[in-house]
Chains A and B, each alone.
Chain A
Amino acid sequence: MFKSLIYVILPLILSYHDFHVTHTTLHYNSDLDNMEITIKFAIQDLEISLDNTELRIGTLNEKKSSEEIIKNYFKNHLNIYGDNKIINYEWVGKEISDNLHDIYIYFEISNFNQNDKLKSLILENTIFIETTHNQSNIVLIEFEDNDYNLTFTKDLIRQKIQLIR
């Protein structure tokens, strides 16, 4: 009981860590027909969202279950649809940033381009939006020769793009 109370951390008005942004890059690797997904975020923001600091993410004592929990969190908060059909993405791994503050997680979608038939993408991005005040999630899609920049906030959680060919 004591622990669950003491570990409640609230990301409110701070002078120091007062910014809550995640960066997601979807980079299309045409050689392999893979969409390579990189998500960068503050470890603390994830701990708050999971309401869990016991995972010890990024430490030597990290709980074995943490990868599964992180994976599930993102599967619930980042949905990708290709031509209105949900696309499954696979876990590749995670890596702590040199600054120790952030973490990179990697996912991958194989056979992404669907023989050049893919026309549109829909992204639903609610990463940390329910727990963090003023969260913004920035997404950059690099597909063939075009870049698509999107910003998701609590007021804009779903966006659609038409792929230019």
Chain B
Amino acid sequence: MQSIQNKINLFILFLFLTPYICAQDNLNNSKFKQLYEELPTPNVYRTASGAPGHEYYQQKADYEINVELDEEKNILKGNETITYFNNSPDILNYLWVQLDQNVRAKNSHGQLTTTNSMNNKMSFRGIKRMHDRMNFDGGFKLEEVSDPYNNQLAYIINETMMRIDLPKPLRQGQSFSFKIKYSYNINDRMKIGGRSGYEYFEDEGNSIYTIAQFFPRMAVYNEVEGWQNKQFLGRGEFTLPFGDYKVSITVPSDHIVAATGELINATSVLSKNQIKRWEKAKKNFIDPVIIVTEEEAKVNEKQKSKSKKTWTFEAKNVRDFGWASSRKFIWDAMAVDISGKTVMAYSYYPKEGNPLWEQYSTRVVAHSLKVYSKYTIDYTYPQATSVHAKSIGMEYPMICFNFGRPESDGTYSKRTKYGMIGVIIHEVGHNFFPMIINSDERQWTWMDEGLNTFLQYITEQEFERNYPSRRGPPNNIVEYMKGDKSGISPIMTNSESILQFGNNAYGKPATALNILRETIMGRELFDYSFKTYSERWAFKHPTPADFFRTMEDASAVDLDWFWRGWFYTNDHVDISLDKVNWFKINTGNPEIENTISKNQEENKNTYIGISRNKSSIQKTVSEYDDQSVDFYTAYDPFKTNILDTQDFSKYMKNLDAEEKEILKSDKNYYELHFSNIGGLVMPIILEFTFVDRTTEVIRIPAEIWKRNSKEVKKVFILDKEVSNVRLDPFLETADVDLNNNSWPARNEPTRFQIFKENEEKNENPMQRVIRAEEMSNE
């Protein structure tokens, strides 16, 4: 890449913006082709603007559930009454009910379809876990499926799905109630894993139960999937209708229970003191108030009560229900003001979670509710709860289970602290995506994880300046996107088939949204559109098309190219600045141009013999013999004569005022050549640094690639001479190769090289602290 100063004529210059036109196999393969073929046709249920249509409907399922925890045997026994409302225009002959616990049944499809292999390096523990998983007697054991009058209903179980055949067809506006009596063995989370289960503390004989998917749940029926009865294989999470819940949970009387919804029988399960503290917390917007203290929890831990208590909770308009129970729980609470409405932030944790949990958990819940409410909709549920659960992060409406356990000596690493704050923000954030903006998780992981991870990043950055976020900034996704394409799948891939789950469904969509917000749309247009999507689809079931369309509809930014590239392909961003040509206008003035030409002639590289002859030949014949001189010997082609001057005045007379102005301006014209190596079309962001060290940033929208997505040229008219140019100077496009982003070319050192250079120069900060400690000990 070299700069060539070219002299050109004024009138040629403006013909330069000529795009190439590529004809490829006679089809429209443009990266800017609209998504008509990919997106479903708009209809009365979902409009072309991305909003619910005038005949949008959704089903409703209400639950009354009674469960009892058998702590000795780790069995949960339950019975439930489900009332299902058919709001669809369709007649239903059967209902599908989800039996998620069956994923842990012996020989379930979830287990059979998990590929595994043995190798000679397998650890004893790895083998033991295989045994534990295969031997666990999991899954729902159904005792009875009947109508409210105890008449048995016909049903069939297909793995994690149960079809109940209705005695008579269910028409629009009708409802149907049925009862299920069941039990299941609760899994030891620490041995065989799982989103729910228990953690057993061997030294004291107590457990923390984090319980979910604990009751047969209705599947979603809508105009997109019919019944969403895709089997639960472990990865693709849950798709559930909204409804009202009343849940009674019977546990040992010294347990404290946290759950979705509101406790409606506090007086029968809490002490007067605890209720008093709770009332105090409801007015405390600054600090958490402890309702069940560590001392009380320690007393409970030792009691091992054999008597039982029943905690009853109610929740309105939720899509699921989760709860946690333990005699180890400390409970604190704080009030949060969401647009004038008071919402409670709760945390439940064992003493093992302290000191981290009492300091941060509830504060982080409160902060998350505020930030998410700002960018989506006001949090409408009465409370949000964070429960301490070792090594997982999992979300349910109003309640989530989060990791973050200090060492047994009460110290903790920076990683544990920020990991815990991050996971609480993330899981509380799931209240918005997908608990309220209720996308189909079984089908699309990115719709909740990606959108949530995007807001998690914003919430983390508002929690602490330069919070060590894992996902969000474009340069964090580069490693993934430039990797082996056979190990990457497009974002628009079903949850079960995703390769590299975390990068695909969390990192890449979160980054894509960040890029839309910061670079493509700008914060104002993005934030309004994102909020519009949230408002339109709160307490409804959105699809990807509804999201894509709303973001365009509310912003007037055509984003089809962006969805196509970032969501439907595996392409990455690698734009290369190939060449920079520098032009100045030929003024036509012989005085000026002849001097320039003369200088150029003199500065030309010359053959060495000619330079040497200059001194070695003292005089040539034409120099000492006047008689050998004629016109040609003396002629100076760079000398201006009167005719040249006359021609120039004529030329000037023919120019109009505007043209003269351009001629006088003495601008620099830079023609830049770009090529698109990665495939993704993206805006071209350039920083010009001039010889006087000042800089100018020019941002060109991605549409520069609209006619040729492989190569483009662009001319920039600048006052000053440029000394260097950088492409994507603020690292906002996820360009995977920065070595082709500069003129003059420069090689960015690799992380390895930077590390090694610093290592050689000095010690790392950790070594320095250790050395300082050693010195002070001496």
Contact residues of A: prevailing secondary structure: loop
Question: Chain B residues near A9 (CB, 8 Å)?
Answer: 390-391
Contacting residue for A18 out of B121, B423, B483, B501, CB 8 A: B501
Shortest CB-to-CB span from A17 to chain B, Å, is 7
Assess the A149–B483 pair: CB atoms within 8 A: yes
Contact with B along A78-117 (1 / 0, CB 8 A): 0000000000000011010011111010100000000000
Assess the A19–B502 pair: CB atoms within 8 A: yes
Question: Chain B residues near A150 (CB, 8 Å)?
Answer: 484
Most chain B CB atoms below 10 A, which of A12, A16, A17, A92? A16
Shortest CB-to-CB span from A127 to chain B, Å, is 11
Q: How far is the CA of A2 from the CA of B202 in the complex (A)?
A: 8
B755 at the interface (CB under 8 A from A): yes
Contacting residue for B202 out of A5, A93, A95, CB 8 A: A5
Q: How far is the CA of A23 from the CA of B479 in the complex (A)?
A: 8
Assess the B202–A14 pair: CB atoms within 8 A: no
Using known A-B contacts A21-B502, A138-B484, A140-B482, determine if residue A13 contacts B122 with beta carbons closer than 8 Å. no
Most chain A CB atoms below 10 A, which of B234, B483, B764? B483
> How large, as a class, is the contact surface on chain B?
35 or more
Determine, out of B257-265, B331-339, B746-754, the stretch whose residues face the partner at the interface: B746-754
Q: Which of A14-41 contact B (CB under 8 A)?
A: 14-19, 21, 23, 25, 27, 29, 36-38, 40
Question: Chain A residues near B115 (CB, 8 Å)?
Answer: 154-155
B664 at the interface (CB under 8 A from A): no
Question: Chain B residues near A104 (CB, 8 Å)?
Answer: 751, 755
Shortest CB-to-CB span from A9 to chain B, Å, is 5
Q: How far is the CA of A60 from the CA of B470 in the complex (A)?
A: 21
Assess the A99–B470 pair: CB atoms within 8 A: yes
B237 at the interface (CB under 8 A from A): yes
Q: How far is the CA of A104 from the CA of B754 in the complex (A)?
A: 12
Using known A-B contacts A8-B190, A99-B468, A100-B415, determine if residue A16 contacts B427 with beta carbons closer than 8 Å. yes
Q: How far is the CA of A102 from the CA of B752 in the complex (A)?
A: 15
A51 at the interface (CB under 8 A from B): yes
The residue in chain A whose Cβ has the minimal distance to the Cβ of B499 is A136
Assess the A51–B487 pair: CB atoms within 8 A: no
Question: Chain B residues near A100 (CB, 8 Å)?
Answer: 414-415, 418-419, 468
Using known A-B contacts A15-B394, A101-B419, determine if residue A140 contacts B483 with beta carbons closer than 8 Å. yes
Question: Chain A residues near B116 (CB, 8 Å)?
Answer: 133, 154
Using known A-B contacts A13-B234, A16-B393, A155-B117, determine if residue A130 contacts B750 with beta carbons closer than 8 Å. no
A161 at the interface (CB under 8 A from B): no
A10 at the interface (CB under 8 A from B): yes
Assess the A98–B468 pair: CB atoms within 8 A: yes
Assess the A101–B119 pair: CB atoms within 8 A: no
Determine, out of B33-41, B123-131, B679-687, B693-701, the stretch whose residues face the partner at the interface: B123-131
Contacting residue for A10 out of B117, B193, B506, B753, CB 8 A: B193
Assess the B755–A92 pair: CB atoms within 8 A: yes
Q: How far is the CA of A100 from the CA of B750 in the complex (A)?
A: 20
The residue in chain A whose Cβ has the minimal distance to the Cβ of B467 is A99
Question: Chain A residues near B413 (CB, 8 Å)?
Answer: 56, 58-59
Using known A-B contacts A99-B469, A130-B123, A130-B126, determine if residue A15 contacts B195 with beta carbons closer than 8 Å. yes
Question: Chain B residues near A106 (CB, 8 Å)?
Answer: 752, 755-756
Q: Which of B440-490 contact A (CB under 8 A)?
A: 449, 468-470, 476, 479-480, 482-487
Assess the A13–B195 pair: CB atoms within 8 A: yes
Contact with B along A128-143 (1 / 0, CB 8 A): 0111011010111000
Question: Chain B residues near A139 (CB, 8 Å)?
Answer: 484
B166 at the interface (CB under 8 A from A): no
Question: Chain A residues near B423 (CB, 8 Å)?
Answer: 16
B2 at the interface (CB under 8 A from A): no
B503 at the interface (CB under 8 A from A): yes
Assess the B415–A101 pair: CB atoms within 8 A: yes
Shortest CB-to-CB span from B293 to chain A, Å, is 24
Question: Chain A residues near B549 (CB, 8 Å)?
Answer: none
Assess the A154–B119 pair: CB atoms within 8 A: yes
Question: Chain A residues near B392 (CB, 8 Å)?
Answer: 14-16
Q: How far is the CA of A92 from the CA of B487 in the complex (A)?
A: 29
Question: Chain B residues near A43 (CB, 8 Å)?
Answer: 415
B500 at the interface (CB under 8 A from A): yes
Contacting residue for A154 out of B117, B418, B753, CB 8 A: B117
Q: How far is the CA of A165 from the CA of B748 in the complex (A)?
A: 24
Assess the B193–A12 pair: CB atoms within 8 A: yes
Assess the B483–A19 pair: CB atoms within 8 A: no
Q: How far is the CA of A20 from the CA of B422 in the complex (A)?
A: 18
Shortest CB-to-CB span from B739 to chain A, Å, is 11
Assess the B499–A18 pair: CB atoms within 8 A: no
Assess the A16–B426 pair: CB atoms within 8 A: yes
Contacting residue for A38 out of B484, B486, B752, CB 8 A: B752
Q: How far is the CA of A70 from the CA of B479 in the complex (A)?
A: 23
Question: Chain A residues near B499 (CB, 8 Å)?
Answer: 136
